[in-house]
């Protein structure tokens, strides 16, 4: 048998190439990745450091509460509701995944269970059976039901670990969708869902406006955050983390591992179901596709972006994901600002020293004008398209990007080349990487103007995928998560 | 910690940038008042599991706007709203559209569930919305006052088709297969009582729209089953079903509803297809349009033309408001839409709306596919 | 009885397809312990490749080359493209995360799947692309034994599927490459210490697994005629079920699982109702996971400390 040469280990300062032997190197590399905070941000950091978690929560809640009063429009309010919902769901997922380390890929089914539970109990759907409860009665029933369901779905976690649990829960989620779509269409409504759900009412109030639901969700979110904060520092919270890090060690320290895992499932389920009831009441209707895998991915995106394991992270991640996706990326103009803004910010943050940054920017600009001039001289129709976005950015890049008269085919080719170029960029080291940067940025701008901006809906979906990939590869712990090291056996 | 802060700052900066940008962009682009400027919102599943349907609808809406702009000298633009056929996303998109004062009317949404979810929002905004594919009967009972559609509802098509099957095809037993979407289950619900009342034995099956392996279902078509009813929306699925029938030597005839009307894609010899209009690719009046659509977007099925018609109705309404010297607004555009009376349309029949938004005198045509795959009109009673 | 045999034939052919996809899935899981959610999308890429090959050579009804040659070109190109893409994905997205917490590669895989599906939508559009196989492989050219029929394409799928599975089994058990793959699967670090080029072995595994998915995509295109950007999702899910039921990481297990799931679907549709097919199949999976987490042929996983 021939002996293969072990691969040469990559230079330590480079981006993560994966340790070759042992996991400790990964730990070491992680601390390498930490950036130095620039001087201009340090006072802000010190100031922020002096304010504790609770005051910060209070301030954030007050600011959020003031938003509708400051005149959020109908759309902003809807985005706010969506964002609060996702934040709430990410928070619940954080208990199961972030704290207890149980990979639950059927989490969205609990959300659906809450919504369907409320829809069945508090609408005319079961009227023939004489069941039409007021919201203050059906809410607790749904919560208890969700807790029991969470326990049931969590049961396999006593035996299954890691991926196996992920598989079972994934199929639980799929089975939930199949169930609501196909079983008992007379009761569950099948594809037509359940419509005409009661508004949430309590203490004589009846929530009928979106403003009302915004405040209800805000209150619920803050209350959940507070409760989880307390729980986090309690015995249970510590037990969850112990089980996450090492179930065997936790068991030998007399932590009842199975029970602790089940509790995590039940907690996550109850929070998701709570969000589900509010969702059902606010939308006045529920339908199976509202609880599909795409939404699950969105919840995960929020949690991952914010950082699994952190309450603030989960909430911020959920908010950022929805505000970006629903608030900005639906409109091509605003998507353009996000796109160019992210490039600029990424360059500012990642590229050091300033000389290099300046060089790359100058090279990109020069490359663009040169390429545009040369292409235009060769064939006028190759630059006849002009940028497809609107606003000042379009006029700024008009003589810079190359957009052919029929941009679709060229844009498609450009997209494929761009993906290849980006892969090459990630693989390249040192000067090669710097040298590849200007063409990559320029090509990205061209593809954006030629193709992506004309298909904002598809671009939006592509960006979700890109964010997940980039986030996981550059910063697996998320924006605010704590670094975790799992010892692979 | 430092890393976190800088990342958070970066994210915030990007968002802030977008925020500033959006407010700046909004104020700068107020066009001249005289030329007829307006925006139409489009709602449909542009991505997600039924992107097939949504992209075709979007393309035809874009085509209609560009053709009508040239003809009427208007400056109408389309704002895309991707719903993925999810009512919750439709709600968000609708809020976006109703908050944007430039958007005067909406084409779509595609699904009846979505109409249920957004109907009240649209009514509150006083904005008209015309769907080209939401056919549930209960949508036009008056509960959504600004809703209109250019296709007839399930209660027209379902019983008519069922009666034809009973009276002309005389099956002893038949199989009806829904595709687990609202369109399909709605039609099944409308047809089944008629079939059962006539004493036909009905085997009700159900296959998700994204599944295209029908071999085991086809094996289940018994020798006495002479008709298979497919109220589906994906013509390629029905084509595959027909091939499986042929391959397994089954004699049953496929009866498709308007979602399957798709010459060139669904071509199984001897099948019946009902449709809200004649074959537009065969109509001389629509030949240019069909050709433009084919050249621009490739082959198309049955979802595009109604959306074209719906968009055209809105385009004409806006143009008529402008012609009357008014600035188009949601209310006057809606009023003009309601007054629509097109003697003919791309759908081959007149478009005129009833008080609850249903098409008046909407008819269904019935076609039989011959051995060359061509659609031949047959008398539908 | 005829009905039973017909459903058996249907189930076995569909099952063979699932098995091919499940094989790649299982191989990748074996060496990397990674649930590669993007695997179904490589199947989609394979199916699209086949479609464009048909179009390139004149379209289904006016082929400019003989059908067998066309099939070979389709299969080879699809295998190559899907395989290459698989290697690129591994190199670009999974390798940096090899020792990161388990959730990181999982989420990356979901991200890649999302990215591929929507990129395909951007590049190829939303409309259903149709192979129109009967235009060049006649529907009546299959076998008819009494009332039971098997189409040519079904026979092809069975033969090719069996051939690929057997050669893969031989490759893994009889060759040096296979020995390396098994070593990496058993203990990556120990394999590395023994001088095995782990990165290379993983890349080769990814190539083979993804190529199988690409081949399965072409065969599905020939059999079911339709290609959209989302066909990978449902097949990926089914193959995933197959791999898990058979015992994830086990190659014979993936084959067995694929056939079982295919037959289960077929018989549930035939004897119960198509309405509940998916629900029951998912139920079977959950039951298997609960009763025998390592699957039917998988080895029980020992927890190392």
The pLDDT value recorded for residue A54 is 85
Lowest mean pLDDT among A338-347, B3-12, B287-296: B3-12
Distance between CA atoms of residues B79 and B69, nearest Å: 15
Distance between CA atoms of residues B208 and B217, nearest Å: 12
Chains near A (3 or more Cβ pairs under 8 Å): B, C
Q: What is the pLDDT of residues B180-199, one digit of tens each?
A: 888 898 899 999 999 999 99
Q: What is the pLDDT of residues C193-216, one digit of tens each?
A: 999 999 999 999 999 999 999 999
Q: What is the pLDDT of residues C74-85, one digit of tens each?
A: 999 999 999 999
> Percent of chain B at pLDDT above 70?
91
Contact B215 C266 (CB under 8 A): yes
* Chain A residues with CB-CB distance to C118 below 8 A: 458, 461-462, 465
The pLDDT value recorded for residue B2 is 46
Interface of A with C in 344-403 (CB under 8 A): none
Hey, is B147 helix, strand or coil? strand
Q: Nearest to residue B192, comparing CAs of B233, B163, B218, B167?
A: B163
Distance between alpha carbon B81 and the CA centroid of its chain, in Å? 15
Averaged pLDDT of chain A: 83
Distance between CA atoms of residues A348 and A150, nearest Å: 45
Contact B240 C278 (CB under 8 A): no
Cβ neighbours, 10 Å, residue C189: 15
Q: Nearest to residue A305, comparing CAs of A421, A468, A123, A79?
A: A468
> Percent of chain B at pLDDT above 90?
43
Q: Which residue has the higher pLDDT, A163 or A37?
A: A163
* Average pLDDT of the residues in A322-333: 86
Q: Is A76 left (phi over 0), alpha (psi -120 to 50) or beta?
A: alpha
pLDDT band for position A42 (cuts 50, 70, 90) = low
* Chain A residues with CB-CB distance to C176 below 8 A: 1-2
The pLDDT value recorded for residue B283 is 72
Q: What is the CA radius of gyration of chain B?
A: 23
The pLDDT value recorded for residue A254 is 83
The pLDDT value recorded for residue A8 is 43
Q: What is the pLDDT of residues B68-81, one digit of tens each?
A: 999 999 999 999 99
Distance between CA atoms of residues B169 and A454, nearest Å: 48
Are the C-beta atoms of residues C197 and A6 closer than 8 Å to each other? yes
pLDDT band for position A38 (cuts 50, 70, 90) = low
Distance between alpha carbon A349 and the CA centroid of its chain, in Å? 21
* Chain B residues with CB-CB distance to A390 below 8 A: 25, 29
Say whether residue C233 is in contact with chain B using an 8 A CB cutoff: yes
Are the C-beta atoms of residues C107 and C71 closer than 8 Å to each other? no
Q: For tokens 């940025």, what's the residue?
A: A441
The pLDDT value recorded for residue C300 is 58
DSSP string covering C21-36: HHHHHHHHHHHH----
pLDDT of C141 > 50? The answer is yes
Distance between CA atoms of residues C134 and C60, nearest Å: 8
Hey, is C64 helix, strand or coil? coil
Q: What is the pLDDT of residues A203-216, one digit of tens each?
A: 667 787 888 899 99
Alpha helices in B165-271 (DSSP H): 182-197, 215-219, 235-247
pLDDT of A466 > 50? The answer is yes
pLDDT band for position A331 (cuts 50, 70, 90) = confident
The pLDDT value recorded for residue A40 is 66
Which among B22, B112, B206 has the least Cβ separation from residue A334? B22
Count Cα atoms within 13 angstroms, Cβ side, for A174: 25
Cβ neighbours, 10 Å, residue A396: 12
Distance between CA atoms of residues C149 and C146, nearest Å: 8
The pLDDT value recorded for residue A468 is 84
Contact A465 C118 (CB under 8 A): yes
Taking CA–CA distances from A299, the nearest residue in chain C reads: C107
**Which residues face A197 on adjacent strands?**
A123
Q: Nearest to residue A95, comparing CAs of A267, A262, A221, A256?
A: A267
Are the C-beta atoms of residues A89 and A109 closer than 8 Å to each other? no
* Average pLDDT of the residues in A258-278: 93
Alpha helices in C175-250 (DSSP H): 176-186, 188-193, 198-224, 231-246
Which helix or strand (DSSP H or E) is residue C54 part of?
Answer: helix C39-56
Are the C-beta atoms of residues C264 and C67 closer than 8 Å to each other? no
Classify each residue of B105-129 as buried b or exposed e, where b means 16 or more C-beta atoms within 10 Å of its C-beta.
bbbbbbbbbbbbbbbebbeebebbb
SS (H, E, C) B307-358: HHHHHHHHHHHHHHHHHCCCCCCHHHHHHHHHCCEECCCCCCCCEEECCCCC
Q: At what angle do helices C152-174 and C2-32 cross, to 10 degrees?
A: 30
Averaged pLDDT of chain C: 89
Contact B210 C234 (CB under 8 A): yes
Locate C303 and state its tokens.
């927890």
The pLDDT value recorded for residue B28 is 36
Contact C127 B298 (CB under 8 A): yes
- Give the minimum alpha-carbon distance from B86 to chain A in angstroms, rounded to a whole number: 6
Locate A264 and state its tokens.
């995590």
Classify each residue of C21-57 as buried b or exposed e, where b means 16 or more C-beta atoms within 10 Å of its C-beta.
bbbbbbbbbbbbbbbbbbbbbbbbbbbbbbbebbeeb
* Chain C residues with CB-CB distance to B47 below 8 A: 118, 121
pLDDT of A51 > 80? The answer is no
Lowest mean pLDDT among A288-297, B20-29, B352-361, C228-237: B20-29
pLDDT band for position B50 (cuts 50, 70, 90) = confident
Locate B98 and state its tokens.
């109703």
Torsion sign across C-alpha atoms A272, A276, A282, A287 = positive
Distance between CA atoms of residues B229 and B271, nearest Å: 10
DSSP string covering A215-269: HHHHHHHHHHHHHHHHHHTSHHHHHHHHHHH-HHHHHHTT--HHHHHHHHHHHHH
Counts of helices then strands in chain C (DSSP H, E)? 11, 4
Contact C279 A183 (CB under 8 A): yes
Contact A195 B116 (CB under 8 A): yes
Say whether residue B23 is in contact with chain A using an 8 A CB cutoff: no
pLDDT band for position A37 (cuts 50, 70, 90) = low
- Give the minimum alpha-carbon distance from A338 to chain B in angstroms, rounded to a whole number: 5
pLDDT of A64 > 80? The answer is yes
pLDDT of B59 > 70? The answer is yes
- Give the minimum alpha-carbon distance from C132 to chain B in angstroms, rounded to a whole number: 9
Q: What is the pLDDT of residues A182-194, one digit of tens each?
A: 888 888 888 888 8
Which among C125, C144, C224 has the least Cβ separation from residue B213? C224
Are the C-beta atoms of residues C259 and C16 closer than 8 Å to each other? yes
Contact C234 B234 (CB under 8 A): no
* Average pLDDT of the residues in A432-449: 91
The pLDDT value recorded for residue C59 is 87
Are the C-beta atoms of residues A469 and C38 closer than 8 Å to each other? no
pLDDT of B27 > 60? The answer is no
* Chain A residues with CB-CB distance to B24 below 8 A: 391-392
Say whether residue C55 is in contact with chain B using an 8 A CB cutoff: no
The pLDDT value recorded for residue C86 is 95
CA distances from A401 to A366, A434, A442, A450 (A): 11, 21, 8, 9
Q: Which residue has the higher pLDDT, B176 or B154?
A: B176
Q: Nearest to residue B359, comparing CAs of B340, B377, B346, B378?
A: B340
Distance between CA atoms of residues A462 and C213, nearest Å: 22
The pLDDT value recorded for residue A414 is 93
Lowest mean pLDDT among A445-454, B155-164, B245-254, B292-301: B292-301
pLDDT band for position C61 (cuts 50, 70, 90) = confident
Contact A330 B81 (CB under 8 A): yes
Q: Nearest to residue C82, comparing CAs of C184, C220, C185, C218?
A: C218
pLDDT band for position B380 (cuts 50, 70, 90) = low
Cβ-Cβ contacts under 8 Å between A and C: the total is 175
The phi and psi torsions of A284 (rounded to 5 degrees) equal 65, 0
The pLDDT value recorded for residue B336 is 93
Distance between CA atoms of residues A299 and A387, nearest Å: 34
The pLDDT value recorded for residue A417 is 94
Say whether residue B246 is in contact with chain A using an 8 A CB cutoff: no
- Give the minimum alpha-carbon distance from B75 to chain C in angstroms, rounded to a whole number: 27
The pLDDT value recorded for residue A488 is 45
């Amino acid at each position: 048998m021939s002996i293969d040469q072990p691969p040469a280990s990559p230079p330590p300062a480079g981006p993560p190439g994966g340790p070759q032997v042992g996991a400790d190197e990964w730990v070491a590399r992680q601390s390498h990745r930490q950036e130095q905070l620039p001087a201009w941000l340090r006072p802000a950091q010190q100031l922020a450091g002096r304010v504790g978690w609770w005051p910060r929560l209070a301030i954030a809640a007050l600011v959020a509460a003031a938003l509708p009063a400051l005149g959020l429009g109908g759309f902003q309010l809807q985005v706010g509701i969506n964002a609060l919902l996702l934040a709430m769901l990410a928070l619940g997922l954080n208990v199961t995944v972030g704290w207890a380390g149980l990979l639950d890929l059927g989490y969205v089914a609990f959300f659906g269970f809450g919504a369907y539970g409320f829809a069945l109990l508090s609408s005319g759907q079961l009227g023939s059976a004489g069941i039409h409860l007021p919201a203050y009665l059906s809410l607790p029933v749904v919560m208890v039901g969700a807790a029991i369901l969470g326990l049931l779905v969590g049961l396999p976690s006593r035996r299954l670990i890691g991926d196996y649990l992920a598989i079972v829960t994934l199929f639980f989620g799929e089975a939930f969708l199949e169930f609501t779509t196909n079983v008992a269409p007379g009761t569950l409504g099948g594809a037509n869902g359940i419509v005409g759900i009661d508004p949430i009412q309590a203490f004589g109030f009846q929530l009928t406006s979106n403003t009302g639901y915004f405040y209800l969700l805000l209150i619920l979110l803050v209350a959940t955050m507070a409760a989880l904060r307390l729980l986090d520092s309690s015995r249970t919270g510590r037990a969850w983390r112990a089980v996450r890090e090492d179930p065997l060690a936790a068991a030998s320290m007399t932590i009842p591992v199975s029970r602790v895992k089940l509790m995590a499932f039940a907690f996550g389920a109850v929070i998701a179901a709570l969000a589900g009831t509010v969702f059902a009441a606010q939308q006045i209707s529920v339908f199976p596709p509202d609880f599909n895998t795409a939404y699950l991915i969105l919840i995960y995106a929020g949690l991952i972006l914010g950082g699994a394991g952190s309450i603030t992270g989960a909430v911020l991640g959920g908010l950022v994901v929805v505000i970006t996706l629903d608030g900005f990326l639906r409109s091509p103009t605003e998507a353009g600002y996000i796109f160019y803004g992210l490039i600029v910010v990424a360059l500012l943050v990642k590229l050091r020293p300033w000389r290099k940054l300046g060089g790359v920017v100058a090279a990109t600009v020069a490359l663009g004008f040169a390429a545009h001039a040369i292409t235009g001289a060769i064939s006028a129709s190759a630059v006849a398209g002009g940028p497809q976005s609107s606003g000042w950015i379009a006029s700024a890049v008009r003589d810079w990007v190359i957009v052919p008269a029929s941009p679709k085919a060229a844009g498609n080719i450009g997209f494929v080349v761009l993906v290849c170029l980006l892969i090459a960029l990630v693989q390249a080291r040192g000067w090669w990487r710097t040298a590849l940067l200007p063409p990559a940025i320029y090509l990205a701008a061209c593809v954006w103007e030629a193709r992506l901006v004309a298909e904002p809906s598809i671009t939006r979906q592509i960006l979700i995928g890109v964010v997940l990939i980039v986030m996981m590869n550059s910063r697996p712990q998320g924006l605010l998560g704590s670094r975790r090291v799992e010892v692979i056996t | 910690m430092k890393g976190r802060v800088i990342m958070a700052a970066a994210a915030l900066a990007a968002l802030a940038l977008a925020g500033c940008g959006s407010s700046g962009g909004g104020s700068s682009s107020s066009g001249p008042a005289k030329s007829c400027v307006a925006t139409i919102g489009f709602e449909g599943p542009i991505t997600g599991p039924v992107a097939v349907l949504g992209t075709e609808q979007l393309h035809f809406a874009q085509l209609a706007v560009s053709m009508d702009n040239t003809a009427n000298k208007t400056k109408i633009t389309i704002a895309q709203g991707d719903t993925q056929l999810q009512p919750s996303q439709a709600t968000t998109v609708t809020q976006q559209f109703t908050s944007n004062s430039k958007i005067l009317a909406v084409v779509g949404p595609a699904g009846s569930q979505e109409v249920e979810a957004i109907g009240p929002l649209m009514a509150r905004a006083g904005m008209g919305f015309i769907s080209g594919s939401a056919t549930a009967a209960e949508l036009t009972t008056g509960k959504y006052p600004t809703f209109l559609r250019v296709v007839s509802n399930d209660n027209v098509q379902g019983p008519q088709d069922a009666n034809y099957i009973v009276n002309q095809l005389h099956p002893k037993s038949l199989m009806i297969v829904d595709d687990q979407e609202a369109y399909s289950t709605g039609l099944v619900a409308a047809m089944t009582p008629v079939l059962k009342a006539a004493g036909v034995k009905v085997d009700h099956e159900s296959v998700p729209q994204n599944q295209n392996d029908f071999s085991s279902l086809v094996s289940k078509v018994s020798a006495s089953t002479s008709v298979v009813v497919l109220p589906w929306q994906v013509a390629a699925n029905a084509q595959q079903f027909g091939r499986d029938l042929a391959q397994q030597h089954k004699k049953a005839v496929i009866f498709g509803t308007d979602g399957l009307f798709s010459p060139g894609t669904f071509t199984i010899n001897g099948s019946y297809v009902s449709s809200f209009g004649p074959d537009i690719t065969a109509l001389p009046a629509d030949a240019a349009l069909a050709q433009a659509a084919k050249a621009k977007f490739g082959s198309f099925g049955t979802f595009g033309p109604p959306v074209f018609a719906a968009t055209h109705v809105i385009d004409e309404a806006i143009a008529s408001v402008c012609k009357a010297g008014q600035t188009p607004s949601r209310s006057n555009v809606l009023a003009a839409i309601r007054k629509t009376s097109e003697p003919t349309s791309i759908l081959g029949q007149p478009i005129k709306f009833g008080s609850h938004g249903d098409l008046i005198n909407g008819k269904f045509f019935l076609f039989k596919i011959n051995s060359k795959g061509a659609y031949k009109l047959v008398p539908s009673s | 009885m005829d009905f039973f045999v017909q459903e058996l034939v249907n189930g076995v052919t569909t099952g063979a397809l699932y098995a091919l996809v499940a094989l790649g899935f299982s191989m990748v899981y074996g060496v990397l312990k990674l649930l590669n959610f993007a695997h179904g999308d490589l199947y989609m890429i394979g199916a699209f490749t086949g479609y464009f090959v048909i179009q390139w050579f004149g379209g289904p009804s006016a082929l400019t080359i003989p059908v067998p040659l066309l099939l070979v070109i389709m299969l080879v190109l699809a295998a190559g493209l899907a395989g290459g893409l698989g290697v690129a994905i591994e190199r670009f997205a999974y390798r940096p995360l090899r020792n990161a917490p388990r959730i990181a590669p999982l989420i990356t895989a979901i991200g890649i799947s999302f990215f591929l599906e929507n990129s395909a939508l951007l590049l190829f559009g939303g409309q259903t692309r149709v192979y129109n196989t009967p235009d060049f492989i006649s529907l009546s050219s299959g076998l008819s034994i009494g009332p039971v029929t098997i189409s040519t394409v079904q026979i092809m799928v069975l033969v090719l599927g069996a051939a690929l599975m057997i050669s893969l089994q031989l490759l893994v058990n009889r060759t040096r490459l296979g020995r390396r793959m098994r070593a990496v699967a058993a203990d990556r670090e120990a394999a590395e210490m023994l001088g095995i080029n782990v990165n290379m072995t993983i890349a080769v595994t990814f190539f083979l697994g993804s190529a199988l998915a690409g081949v399965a995509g072409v065969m599905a295109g020939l059999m079911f005629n339709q290609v959209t950007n989302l066909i990978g999702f449902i097949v990926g899910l089914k193959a995933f079920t197959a791999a898990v039921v058979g015992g994830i990481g086990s190659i014979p297990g993936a084959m067995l699982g694929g056939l079982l799931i295919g037959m289960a679907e077929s018989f549930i549709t035939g004897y119960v109702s198509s309405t509940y097919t998916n629900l029951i199949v998912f139920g079977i999976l959950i039951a298997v996971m609960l009763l025998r987490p390592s699957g039917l042929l998988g080895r029980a996983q020992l927890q190392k400390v």
